[in-house]
Chain A
Amino acid sequence: MGDLADASLARPAATDASRPDADSAAAQESSSLSVRIKRQVSRDFSLEAAFEAPAGFTMLLGTSGGGKTTLLNCIAGLSRPDSGRITLGPRVMFDSSSRIDVPVAERRLGYLFQNLALFPHMTIEQNVHYGIVKLPAPERRERTMALLESFRIAHLLHSKPSQISGGERQRAALARSLVTDPVLLLLDEPLSALDQATKATILDDLRKWNASHRIPIVYVTHSPAEAFALGEHVVVLESGRIIASGMPQDVLRAPRNETVAQIVGFENVFDAVVSALEEHEGTMLCRLGNDGRELEVPLTRAEVGSHVRIAIRAGDIIIADERPHGLSARNAFEGRVTAIRREGVTVIVTVDSGLPFEVHITPAAAEELHLETGKQVWLVIKTYSCNLVEQTQQARINSKASLESA
């Protein structure tokens, strides 16, 4: 009897003991991850990156082979940068100049691998306990159950990873990383293998967790949708270099760099020459190609005659079957449908209007317009759907050469 009373008293005491830990986690709220590293990966690929990740989600966006995983591995300590410095608040994790290289096991971070890396020979419970063996058993159980319950997988405690679904495995792996109370969380395309619905609920769980544990979370993805859904910060990595970073809407909605545009999904990218500035209207005219067609785009700091690149999302272009009138849209071009194909619920129409435009419409719209190859149509583009994009150095030289030779 007395034993039982003692045991029930011991539980709150154990929670109290863990409280200083919670306090220090709160103190770490302001500590952000700071990375400045160089690493020669192979003879013709080097990673050179510098960025800050404050508490909250930092989305690391980029094409495959751009160095995202290498960057995460350097932060985790799984591969060693040739030079540079990695700090987390006041904690130095790596510094080549003072020869500091904190071993992986002591960095106290969470890393969710693309293939999850759940231990196949252990149950979910054993997997989740693996990182917290040093805690007293009651606290270990309490923490595990709290997390598994909040992720709705508490009933899978005694299952092996091979016996549960992909979404459940994802949650289990996430729980295993989070249960250790990491000071930094690295996620390498954690949701790439999941269907939309499962993905959405897991993102929701993660967002909820992040609201109560403000630590830096570096989230690698190649999906702009995910970047929009979660990101408080976006870093775009391309060929081992960071080519853009900032708030997601700034980086993604108005891409200022050609590679960012391609990553984010601007299907139409055109070279153009500025032909007139209409400063009082906040617009300017750009000549597309060499047949005199002009496009009205938002005004930027450019001079008449300068070369620009314009990016337009395929979904932002309207197709009309007769010359449009009574619209606010300023740009309308006549063209001919050269190809139609359907991908899921999107109909992808290619229209030749001197230049090839890709347009995405719904199947119903395609049917109503009686779209078929060879049909004459009009394309309508709003001025503000035209994004001016910074060209990469090489592209600028190429486009100049092609415009001049034309």
Chain B
Amino acid sequence: MIEWRAIILTFRLAFVVCAVLLVIGTPIATWLAFTRWRWKFLVESIVALPLVLPPTVLGFYVLVALGSNSPIGRWYRNLSGHGLPFTFEGLAIASVIYSLPFVVQPMVAAFSQVDRNLINASAILGASRLRTFFRVVMPLSVGGIITGVVLCFAHTLGEFGVVLMVGGNIPGVTETVSIAIYDNVQALNYAAANRMALLLMIFSFVTLSITYAINRRVWAIWPMHR
């Protein structure tokens, strides 16, 4: 049998994370693509950290940062009456941090490829920065934005370590597909593990294929590539 609860939860998490990252990733990417600040590379490194850190390290620090001993954790507890760890919100926050580079890096690559003269022309024609972004930069970077969102979605679907550290495996609250597979394997329930693993693999393959087909510049997708 397929654990639909875990699948629905996973997709819900992926949607939330993509939406949040679209909102906070876009300004970060825009800033990174256009700033001439000399310490910009430090910010780039911070954004890229989740790519190289083991999920357990990241999960551990997120857990500490969100825990009831941290200012953020205390503030959230006062606000909502419960803590962040082992809740859906906590899981979403951790996933947002973990998937940040997968959204930001393709966007930065796409924004940087927009001809500077087009941006200058827009300013000379009297457009504000915001208008220049929405009318010129964004339409010409659609490929990079789609790539970022799809990567983020697929990456969130498949994450394991961070989820385990921050969310645990509470069915219906924090038990995602990857955790459910792990639990099934632990219980020697290989058939159930196989069904879910296959589903996840097919889904990931299809989404990636669609992205690559839309965005023929294949290597622009790999976030490490600039």
Binding site for B on A (CB under 8 A): 76, 78, 103-111, 113, 115, 117, 119-121, 130-131, 176, 180
Contact = CB atoms under 8 A, between A and B. Distances in A.
A159 B213 CA distance: 26
B140 A176 contact: no
Interface in B189-203: none
Interface string B126-137: 111000000110
B118 A131 contact: no
Nearest to B118: A117
Nearest to A188: B117
A78 B124 CA distance: 9
Contacts of B118: 117, 119-120
A103 B120 CA distance: 12
B121 A117 contact: yes
A107 B140 CA distance: 26
B117 A176 contact: no
B127 A105 contact: yes
Contact of A130 (B117, B120, B127, B139): B127
Given A117-B115, A117-B117, A117-B118, A105 B124 contact: yes
Interface of B: 115, 117-118, 120-128, 135-136, 139-140
A7 B141 CA distance: 40
Given A119-B122, A130-B125, A131-B126, 6 more contacts: A78-B124, A105-B123, A113-B117, A113-B120, A119-B121, A130-B135
B126 A121 contact: no
B140 A121 contact: yes
A22 B7 CA distance: 66
Given A120-B140, A130-B135, A109 B124 contact: yes
Contact of A105 (B115, B128, B136): B128
21 contacts: A76-B120, A103-B123, A104-B120, A104-B124, A105-B126, A106-B126, A107-B124, A110-B124, A111-B121, A113-B117, A113-B121, A115-B117, A117-B118, A117-B120, A119-B118, A119-B122, A119-B135, A119-B136, A130-B125, A131-B127, A180-B126
